[in-house]
Amino acid sequence: MPISFNLPPAARPGQPADTIDTPSLVLDLDTFTRNVERMQAAADHAGVKLRPHAKAHKCPDIALAQVARGAVGICCQKVSEAVPFVRAGIADIHISNEIAGPAKASLLAQLARHARISVCVDDASQIDALAAAAKAAGSRLDVFVEVDVGQNRCGVAGAPAVLKLVERIAAHASLALRGLQAYHGGIQHLRGWAARREAAARTAERTGAVIARLEAAGVRCDVVTGGGSGSVEFDLGSGVYTEIQPGSYVFMDADYGSNDYAGTLRFEHSLFIATTVMSVAAGDRVVLDAGLKSMAVDSGLPWIWADGAASATLDYVAANDEHGIVKPRQAGQVAALPALGSRVMLVPGHCDPTLNLYDEIVGVRGGVVEAVWPVAARGLSR
């Protein structure tokens, strides 16, 4: 007998939120919108441009919402990741990363025929490869020199190395220097507010020193891009960045939720994983239907979310492939455990790689499914 049915969707617009099939990624649209508008207002107030990072959401519907509220474009972290955003009409995309290999340079140069595209470099050979690809495609690529401001990952250290790459860029008619990228990922997750402020200040100082040396050499950086959801409140006032590139603020995962916030720029948890209790047989714990294939655990296990806050009585203590183990925080308090078949909402530990597991985001408002948005760039890591 031929297979005459498709897998039913996890959710359809109009259905009650508590009937979404699980595990599913659920976005509280009111909270999400507040986050988007709060970041935009902070950037506008500081006179700094906002270029949100799409590696956090991989979702053209979200990028369009960000641009509609004033974002100048988006960042992507990989070339292939940019494809669905170009298709969706995002007109200005920065690849906030170096790329390797002629296939990626060629794809990037093709994309530059449809949108303004920029990319980072930290080696002369990358510049030559980009120039050749853009020339072959009849397009132009904007280039940022990435400066290592303390993360010790990508980027060159110090103005002399930057200047060499700037000269190399200038030698190619198919490339245009757009400015500097100065991003420090490690400081985003420093827990203490003062520690983050101090680290962001050091990062800005290093960046400012390079800019001053470049200006003394007659090189002007139109754009200085950097900053993440953990540092933007400091980056906005640094006087160094012309553009910030936070991503996670739209969702706020448990990791960012574990940072201390003393300032006024705070974001709310909008992203949840809807799960169901699938076994209570063990008695002292219950098993959820969401494990390693439904969430990234690299930054810690998820929070259990109940009544608008992280649960004070239940912990998600272990993730197997398709099972999540929940125990009472106080041993023996099994009365606090949810019943078989009941629904449990989680805040994922790390939003970016969690989004990368799902094909759809289910948007809810007022207890009803309002939209189902494709995570169109899911899996696009090339």
Residues 200-259 that bind a second copy (CB under 8 A): none
46, 54, 122, 328: which one contacts a second copy (CB under 8 A)?
122
Binding segment (CB under 8 A) for a second copy, from list 78-86, 194-202, 203-211, 258-266? 78-86
Q: Name which position in 64, 136, 265, 280 contacts a second copy (CB under 8 A).
A: 280
Among 51, 94, 104, 196, binds a second copy (CB under 8 A): 104
* CA neighbor of 271 nearest in space, from 256, 261, 292: 256
Q: Tell me the C-alpha distance between 342 and 20, whole Å.
A: 12
Among 12, 153, 164, 191, binds a second copy (CB under 8 A): 153
Give me 11's structure tokens: 């959710």
Residues 6+ apart with CB under 8 A from 62: 32, 54, 250, 361, 373
* Residue in the structure block whose two tokens are 């597991």: 357
As separate numbers, helices (DSSP H) first and strands (DSSP E) second, the chain gives 10, 18
Considering only residues 41 through 60, tell me which ones interact with a second copy, judged by CB under 8 A. 55
Q: Please, what is the minimum distance in Å from the beta carbon of residue 300 to a second copy?
A: 11
Q: How many residues bind a second copy (CB under 8 A)?
A: 79
Stretch that binds a second copy, among 167-175, 196-204, 216-224, 278-286 (CB under 8 A): 278-286
Site string for a second copy, 174-193 (x = CB under 8 A): -----------x--------
127 within 8 A of 142, measured Cβ to Cβ? no
127-131 own/partner pairs: CB under 8 Å, 24+ apart:
127/165, 127/168, 127/169, 127/172, 127/175, 128/168, 128/172, 129/102, 129/105, 130/99, 130/105, 130/172, 130/174, 130/175, 131/172, 131/174, 131/175
In the bound state with a second copy, the residue whose beta carbon lies nearer, of 313 and 320, is: 320
- Cα gap 194→234, rounded to integer Å: 10
Rounded Cα distance, 32 and 29, in Å: 5
**Min separation Cβ 22 and a second copy, Å:** 7
| One of 16, 101, 158, 160 touching a second copy (CB under 8 A) | 101
* Complex with a second copy: residue 40 or 80, whichever CB lies closer: 80
Binding-site member from 42, 43, 86, 252 for a second copy (CB under 8 A): 86
Q: How far is the CB of 86 from a second copy (least distance, A)?
A: 6
Residue 44: CB minimum distance to a second copy, A: 28
Task: Show the site string, 303-342: x = touches a second copy by CB under 8 A, - = not.
Answer: ----------------xxxxx-x--------------xx-
Question: Please, which residue, 28 or 81, has the CB nearer to a second copy?
Answer: 81
By CB under 8 A, what part of segment 130-149 binds a second copy? 146, 148
Pairing status of strand 314-319 against strand 49-50: unpaired
Distance CA(301)–CA(287), nearest Å, equals 14
Tokens at 204, concatenated: 């800005």
Interaction of residue 83 with a second copy, rule CB under 8 A: yes
